[in-house]
Amino acid sequence: MATTRPEPPGAPEIVPGRLKWPRWVFVVWFGAANLGLHMALTTPASVTLALRIAEIDPEGKVTSLATVLAIGSLFGFAANPLFGRLSDRTTGRWGMRKPWLLAGLAVATVTTVVMASATSLLLITISWAATKLALNAAGSPLAAVVPDQFPDRQRARISGFVGALQQASPAVGAFFVQGVGESSFWMFMVPALVALATVVVFVLILPDRRLDRADVQPLTFREVIGSYWFDVRAHPNFAWVWLCRFLIWMAIASAMSYQPYFLSDRLGMADEELADAVFETMLVLSGGLIVFGNVFGYISDRVGKRRVFVLASGFGIVCGLLMIAFSGDYAQFLIGATVIGISGGIFIPTDVALAIETMPDERREAGHGMGILNLSTAVPNSLAPAVAPLALGIGSDGYQNYTALFVAAAVSAAVGAALIFFVRNVK
């Protein structure tokens, strides 16, 4: 089992599980569970909800979709740290993470059935919020498997592997949606059922840790509320890593949310060319994240260093954003996107490994720590599209200032990367 710090006196005894399968089987199904869960999250948000809402409310579909997604995001934010902490306190022979993985996917499957059958915006909103809550309730315990089951020397490479599969989840989800033809019900259900199946198999394999009931004090109301923060003064390294991650993801999300408009408004790309251009952009971004995430995750583990990779990749993202900000044609734009994809691939696994190494208590509070860490990417993904218009409106006279948007994003990424200098006593 993974631990890098001595246990404090009086700490609850956590009994490690024993893996009964070959290690590679465990790793493969851990990746499959992550792919399935993220596919169940991303496919409705990117494809199927838009199609269903367009059927129900064709006139107000844009506003209705934004409202449904925003409410769902709030429930997702609430679930991450809370259920991560609850899994840290879970006792019983099933272990600490398994009950939440199974319960989360079971509830999400039921709420997806409701969502797939809904004929009103109210029911879609409620069922999507419940689905987000359930899937994120499983997400933090699943993320906690990395510090639970992998030693520090393997965490960057496993984070790169898992991150690659998470990046592939929208494409895999779109593939399944295409495969069910015109049945909107099965467009919702197939990703959810794949998620359920992969998580169930992983639960059967997972050698979950067990916590003795006698060693655990009941959660107080103050501790429940406290699930949404941590002691920054006691754990400054984790605070700096969290803020670094937040600012860099804010930069990427702010800029890339508006890439179709940049291509059409700034570069003058025709509508019939836009879909292919966006696909090519996502291909180079995802390709960089997948390939370089696995390669540099492995390298980071081998050399035992994190900060230098986080710093270098952060400033690589800055360079890519500035290339796009001042690009005059599609080729220059694509080069900038490629640089962002490569740099992001280096950043994700090394940053996750650094965060685990600096989190308040990676052994006893891994679920809570990973839940807090997840907010550093989930919040920017929802907040960035709302904040970006502030930069787009700078000095504008009837047009959108895309240069200001991408320069502002580059500044955010540069500040985020520079914060790594404040992380002490970690390589």
Q: What's the pLDDT at 12?
A: 54
| Rounded CA separation 180/184 (Å) | 8
In CATH, the architecture of 16-228 is: Up-down Bundle (1.20)
pLDDT digits (tens, 9 = 90+) for 9-33: 455 555 556 677 788 899 999 999 9
Whole-angstrom distance between the N-terminal and C-terminal Cα of the chain? 22
Token pair recorded at residue 90: 């879970």
Token pair recorded at residue 403: 């240069």
Distance of CA 106 to the CA centre of its chain: 21
Backbone angles phi, psi at 210, to 5 degrees: -120, 140
Q: Is the pLDDT of residue 230 over 70?
A: yes
Q: Is the pLDDT of residue 84 over 70?
A: yes
Domain ranges for the chain: 16-228, 236-422
Q: Does domain 236-422 have CATH number 3.40.50.2000?
A: no
Q: Is the pLDDT of residue 203 over 80?
A: yes
Polymer length in residues for the chain: 427
Q: Is the pLDDT of residue 274 over 80?
A: no
| Rounded CA separation 314/324 (Å) | 16
**Residue 405: in which H helix or E strand, if any?**
helix 402-418
Q: What's the pLDDT at 4?
A: 45
Please name the residue ranges forming H helices in 61-154: 61-88, 98-117, 121-143, 145-149
Give the angle subtended at the CA of 174 by the CAs of 133 and 190, to the nearest 5°: 60
CB within 8 Å of 151: residues ≥ 6 apart: 2
Q: How confident is the model at residue 176 (pLDDT cuts 50, 70, 90)?
A: confident
Q: What's the pLDDT at 172?
A: 83
Token look-up 């699943």 returns 142
Q: What's the pLDDT at 105?
A: 95
Q: Is the pLDDT of residue 64 over 80?
A: yes
What SS3 string covers 296-344? Answer: HHHHHHHHCCCHHHHHHHHHHHHHHHHHHHCCCCHHHHHHHHHHHHHHH
Q: 14 by DSSP, 3-state: which?
A: strand
Q: How confident is the model at residue 208 (pLDDT cuts 50, 70, 90)?
A: confident
pLDDT digits (tens, 9 = 90+) for 140-163: 899 889 888 888 888 888 888 888
Q: How confident is the model at residue 2 (pLDDT cuts 50, 70, 90)?
A: very low
Q: What's the pLDDT at 1?
A: 37
Whether the Cβ atoms of residue 340 and residue 321 lie closer than 8 Å to each other = yes
pLDDT digits (tens, 9 = 90+) for 288-325: 888 888 888 889 888 888 899 999 999 999 999 999 99
Query: Average per-residue pLDDT in the chain?
Result: 85
| Rounded CA separation 295/297 (Å) | 6
pLDDT digits (tens, 9 = 90+) for 233-251: 888 888 999 999 999 998 8
Q: What's the pLDDT at 214?
A: 67
